[in-house]
């Protein structure tokens, strides 16, 4: 693996810029993860890549949160558990030419070709998960499709970032151009207030706000299924908490 | 792969006998499938094997239908979808020494060692399936455990085999010493009557009795979750159908 670009120096608070990438000689593919759930960063658009290698994307945590230009990708894969349905299945979108025999020997089950040829029925599929995902996809279509999902997710995230940007009390973790619409990460002025925030929020029914242990602070995960009303309630709580403790 | 024993000559209507096995020089392991859902055959006990190789068993279709002497096996694996819960998870029982580094390179996800070390949480687990399986396992314990499961499954299967053995109309497919307690396979005197049987049974609410396309005839799948009352209803229908068409 050649790491073409990293924002480690910036503590992963932003996604790498296109002009930072240093490509290897003849890459076979370029892989990126479109949304980072831990740091709360997201690519607004896929990275620009050299001619030749195909683009592969782990879209597990923001798939179907907005339309993507699917023709730009060779491979998109996404675990269902964030935006699609129960954990236990993975959606794969793969370009036909990438289904050709693999360059090295792979177990049968690990070849996308196997699953494409058998129409995803090579093994006994996880029927319940597939069924629920089907219902979720129909729900998305009924709501207005991915364009409407994108509009709602923009609004939901904006309601929270507006509070974070309003004063000095809250510190948003991600740089403005790299902000995730799925995971909003932030801190208060102190770890003690962070802990109190999580505790008082939970008492008001706003649960699961503790940040990932590797970064601390708070994280509001607002995937497709999370309603606008929940974001508004959190924004109101944030305002109240700032008044009380700021 | 060296096939040590096969009952192909008997159209797979029985499981191989221990005295038929021809072992290769120094086998690493011996693999067998304890129950065959298509032909309706089942090993009453695991095959006798030479000293040295460990015994590996695909127990997908009869796991927890009865107690097994787990210390005789190096590896038992079973898809959940027959006796344990929804499709989408697999139970693996593996001897500690078989978790040592593999003899050939394997993708990380395909090493049992990975999953053992991470307590089955290396990947996001299929939470719903795991939850339902937990409920099923508790139900089994509350019923009296595997000994009680075995007793019930014996009785359920016996109710059907008794009708098959009573006269000349029905022909059980599996040899008596190889009969499955999970899948009871049989035919009537003609393919036309087979089709009529399936049709009339369905009209009486007895569904899914058509045999696998590779063998034809009928197949009654009576896994752990299938109630005794269902077997009695089928036995009664079989008796009625024989009176009418025999």
* Region at A95 (left for phi over 0; alpha for psi -120 to 50; beta for the rest): beta
Q: What is the mean pLDDT of residues B70-86?
A: 96
A110: nearest CB among B86, B87, B107 = B107
Whether B106 shows a pLDDT value over 90: the answer reads no
B88: nearest CB among A79, A110, A128 = A128
pLDDT confidence of residue B171: 97
Side-chain-side CA neighbours of residue A132 (13 Å): 14
Q: What is the mean pLDDT of residues A83-101?
A: 93
pLDDT confidence of residue A71: 95
Cα B139 vs. chain centroid, distance in angstroms?
A: 20
What sign for the dihedral angle of Cα B190, B195, B198, B199? negative
Note whether B126 contacts A127, CB cutoff 8 Å: no
Interval A150-182: pLDDT, tens:
999 999 999 999 999 999 999 999 999 999 999
A127 vs B contacts (CB less than 8 Å): 86-88
Whether A104 shows a pLDDT value over 80: the answer reads no
A79 vs B contacts (CB less than 8 Å): 124
Q: What is the mean pLDDT of residues A30-42?
A: 98
For chains A and B, what is the number of CB pairs under 8 angstroms? 48
Cα B217 vs. chain centroid, distance in angstroms?
A: 19
Note whether B129 contacts A124, CB cutoff 8 Å: no
pLDDT band, very low/low/confident/very high, at A107 (cuts 50, 70, 90): confident
pLDDT confidence of residue B246: 86
Nearest of A35, A37, A44, A63 to residue A146 by alpha carbon: A63
pLDDT band, very low/low/confident/very high, at A102 (cuts 50, 70, 90): low
* Three-point CA angle A202, A203, A206, nearest 5°: 35
Q: What is the mean pLDDT of residues B56-72?
A: 97
Q: Starting from the edge strand earliest in sequence, which strands make up the sheet with B218-221, in order? A: B171-172, B183-187, B218-221
A81 vs B contacts (CB less than 8 Å): 124
Q: d(Cα B65, Cα B147) in Å, to the nearest integer?
A: 9
Percent of chain A with pLDDT over 90: 94
pLDDT confidence of residue B30: 97
Residue of chain A whose alpha carbon sits nearest to that of B79: A124
Whether A103 shows a pLDDT value over 80: the answer reads no
Question: What's chain B look like in SS3?
Answer: CCCCCCCHHHCCCCCCCHHHCCCCCCCCEEEEECEECCCCEECCCCCCCCCCCEEEEECCCCCCCCCCCHHHCCEEEEECCCCCCCCCCEEEEECHHHHCCCCCCCCHHHCHHHHHHCCCCCCCCCHHHHHHHHHHHHHHHHHCHHHHHHHHHHHHHHHHHHHHHHCCCCEECCCHHHECCCEEEEECCCHHHHHHHHHHHHHCCCCCCECCCCCCCEEEECCCCCCHHHHHHHHHHHHHHHHHHC
Q: What is the ipTM of this complex?
A: 0.86
B88: nearest CB among A81, A88, A110 = A88
Q: Are B244 and B173 in contact (CB under 8 A)?
A: no
Q: Are B220 and B160 in contact (CB under 8 A)?
A: yes
Note whether A124 contacts B81, CB cutoff 8 Å: yes
pLDDT confidence of residue A215: 87
Whether A195 shows a pLDDT value over 70: the answer reads yes
Residue of chain B whose alpha carbon sits nearest to that of A128: B86
CA distances from A245 to A181, A196, A205 (A): 27, 10, 19
Strand-pairing partners, residue A94, are: A75
Q: What is the mean pLDDT of residues B55-75?
A: 97
Note whether B126 contacts A125, CB cutoff 8 Å: no
Give me A228's structure tokens. 């606008």
Q: What is the mean pLDDT of residues B156-161?
A: 98
pLDDT band, very low/low/confident/very high, at B47 (cuts 50, 70, 90): very high
What sign for the dihedral angle of Cα B41, B43, B48, B49? positive
pLDDT confidence of residue B127: 94
Percent of chain A with pLDDT over 70: 99
Task: List residues in chain A touching B: CB distance below 8 A.
Answer: 79, 81, 86-89, 106-107, 110, 124-129
The helix (run of H) or strand (run of E) holding residue A77 is strand A75-79
pLDDT confidence of residue B211: 96
Helix (H, G, I), strand (E, B) or coil at A143: helix
pLDDT confidence of residue B102: 67
Buried b / exposed e along A102-134 (16+ C-beta atoms within 10 A) = eeeeeeeeebeebbeeeeeeeeebbebbbebbe
What sign for the dihedral angle of Cα A156, A158, A161, A165? negative
The helix (run of H) or strand (run of E) holding residue A142 is helix A127-143
Whether B103 shows a pLDDT value over 80: the answer reads no
Q: Which of A124, A135, A136, A223 to mutate to test the interface with B (most CBs of B within 10 A)?
A: A124
B129: nearest CB among A81, A110, A126 = A126
pLDDT band, very low/low/confident/very high, at A67 (cuts 50, 70, 90): very high
Specify the pTM: 0.90
pLDDT confidence of residue A43: 98
A87: nearest CB among B81, B107, B125 = B125
Q: What is the mean pLDDT of residues A35-39?
A: 97
Q: What is the mean pLDDT of residues A23-33?
A: 95
């Amino acid at each position: 693996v050649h790491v073409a670009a990293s924002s480690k120096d910036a503590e992963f608070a932003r996604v790498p810029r296109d002009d930072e990438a240093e490509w290897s000689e003849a890459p076979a593919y370029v892989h990126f993860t479109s949304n980072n759930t831990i740091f709360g960063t997201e690519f607004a658009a896929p990275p620009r890549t050299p001619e030749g290698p195909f683009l592969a994307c782990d879209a597990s945590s923001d798939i179907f949160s907005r339309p993507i230009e699917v023709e730009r990708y060779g491979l998109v894969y996404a675990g269902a558990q964030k935006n699609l349905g129960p954990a236990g299945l993975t959606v794969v979108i793969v370009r036909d030419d990438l289904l050709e025999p693999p360059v090295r020997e792979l177990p049968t089950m690990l070849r996308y070709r196997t699953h494409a040829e058998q129409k995803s029925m090579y093994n006994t599929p996880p029927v319940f998960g597939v069924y629920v995902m089907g219902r979720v996809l129909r729900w998305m279509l009924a709501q207005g499709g991915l364009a409407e999902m994108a509009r709602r997710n923009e609004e939901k995230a904006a309601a929270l970032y507006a509070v974070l940007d309003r004063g000095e009390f809250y510190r948003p973790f991600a740089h403005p151009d790299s902000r995730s619409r799925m995971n909003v990460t932030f801190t208060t002025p102190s770890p003690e207030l962070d802990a109190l925030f999580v505790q008082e929020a939970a008492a008001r029914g706003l649960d699961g706000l503790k940040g990932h242990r590797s970064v601390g602070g708070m994280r509001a995960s607002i995937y497709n299924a999370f309603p606008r009303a929940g974001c508004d309630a959190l924004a109101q709580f944030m305002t109240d908490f700032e008044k009380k403790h700021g």
